[in-house]
Amino acid sequence: MNIQISEIANLPTKHGMFLAQVFKEKQKEHLLIRTERFDCPAPLVRVHSECLTGDALFSRKCDCGEQLDLAMRLIANEGCGAILYLRQEGRNIGLFNKINAYALQDQGLDTIEANHQLGFAEDERSYEIAEYMLEFLGVKKIRLLTNNPNKIESLKSVEIVERVSLIVASNPFNENYLRVKREKSGHFL
């Protein structure tokens, strides 16, 4: 992989102080957010795919923004961990196609059916860059913050010693989305 790596900068957040570093892969810039202390035997790690609508605009159609917020809080409280913020908007179909998928969902399709209607697989994401970032950090074991069994299967370069659930409350706008994630994608919800 041809990856450029930025300098490390302080990132003060509502959950406390983190360190930030960017891993540039072709045209995508992935963000590593970690605690200053990172020498624990198995840091708490969240591999989070970008969700502009949920993370920045607080959309209630998904649980992404709430999961990111909870992950940051848990990692800050733990004092040893990281968030790998991967630029894979809309399960890696991009913002344009994600909004088109939202429009199809408004017409009654579920998230998977909408992706298929647009010519995409259920999930187009990959996690090679996440493995690269973890290897760069010298991490051998992690406690993974996820409900997604595919992330567990995809991270082969590290030992996942524990899966930590990220369960957030549902709302009337995301109940069907969460049901589909559980029933069709096997998420632990």
Same domain membership, residue 95 and residue 74: no
The pLDDT of residue 103 is 96
Same domain membership, residue 102 and residue 11: no
**Tell me, what CATH number does 70's domain have?**
3.40.50.10990
Residue 44 forms beta bridges with which residues?
81, 143
Written as six digits, the tokens of 106 are 């408004």
Domain with 166, as residue range(s), is 3-88+125-185
Same domain membership, residue 82 and residue 72: yes
Q: Which of these three, 124, 144, 169, is where a domain ends?
A: 124
pTM of the entire predicted model: 0.93
Same domain membership, residue 161 and residue 77: yes
- Are residues 56 and 68 in contact, defined by beta-carbon separation less than 8 angstroms? no
Q: Number of folded domains in the chain? A: 2
- Are residues 45 and 86 in contact, defined by beta-carbon separation less than 8 angstroms? no
Among candidates 9, 19, 60, which has minimal Cα distance to 43?
19
Question: Which of the 8 DSSP states describes residue 131?
Answer: H
pLDDT tens, position by position, for the chain (189 residues)? 799 999 999 999 999 999 999 999 988 999 999 999 998 999 999 999 999 999 999 999 999 999 999 999 999 999 999 999 999 998 899 999 999 999 999 999 999 999 999 999 999 999 999 999 999 999 999 999 999 988 999 999 999 999 999 989 889 998 878 887 888 887 876
Same domain membership, residue 56 and residue 13: yes
Same domain membership, residue 73 and residue 32: yes
Dihedral Cα 70, 27, 158, 135, nearest 10 deg: -110
Q: Which residues are catalytic?
A: 123, 125
The pLDDT of residue 174 is 83
Residue type, 105: Q
